[in-house]
Structure 1
Amino acid sequence: MSSVISETLPKFTAEALKLAAKQSERCHIVPVHLRRAIKKYLQEQEATHMRRKVLSLSQSFDGIKEVNLLLPSSTSKELVEDPLKAMESSQRWKVKTAYGDVGLTYQEDQTVAYVAARMPAVYSALYRVLNEVRRRVPDFTPAKVLDFGAGTGSAL
């Protein structure tokens, strides 16, 4: 795979960077059938606390951004002191079954907030990225997709 990419990419020059940065498509609009499905799903939900749920989700993303800024300095120290700590803390979110770990649990309000506030943008971004990959590396044919999200399937 790496040989396919290296053969199709131009040399690393200023002109190559300009070509890579050039947008090949206009901004993607979420398809009508998906917009209708989102609207229908949101209408079926309790609207009473919808704004609070969306605000809470946005605040949690802001918190994640702040923590990510600290990661380079703190992660290496934590890994040296206790390499298994990150694995232990992630275990509390995993769903255990007789078949092993099957994923992470999300509450309904988190999923509703994600669909209302983030899903259209995430869908459009993924659509754009995958179209660019297809345009630049025509032979690339992924066999699997990992959609790690709130269960809405927006990456599909």
Structure 2
Amino acid sequence: MRRRFTDLDNTWPAGLLRRLAAMVYDLFLVVALWMLMGFIAVALNQGEANESPLFHSLLLVATFVFFAFFWMRGGMTLGMQAWRLRVQTNDGMSITLVQSLVRFVAACVSLAAFGLGYWWILFDTEKRSWSDIASNTRVVVVSKSKVSDRKNSGLQ
């Protein structure tokens, strides 16, 4: 279910360094998820490492599910919460599953192009990355008071 964010006047476009810091936080969580899936796969294979294309596809899908869940639920992954970032539509709504998929694919392309899609933030007048432009979304910085209100209401 989509929701409208209420604090639109207290946000501003997120810069590159803050986004990269949030990405590092989320990377730790994604690696932990991959390790858990790897342990399960090894256990199911009686101790053999699983390097099949199916396993790698499952890792990719699990990574997408991780990001899509947080982006659609409240606009913030755990790393984004730490750096007070939120992804939203241009009109202040939570993003859809299709927008999440487009963001994820564009982010993969951006990273594969040596991060060029994120360096783009430095040149775009609205501080948008390729994934923002492709999915018609934006990443904003949320004021401190709104993040603490969110934590107190149990919407972490």
Q: TM-score, normalised by structure 2?
A: 0.29
- For the pair shown, the structure with the greater C-alpha radius of gyration is 1
Q: TM-score, normalised by structure 1?
A: 0.29
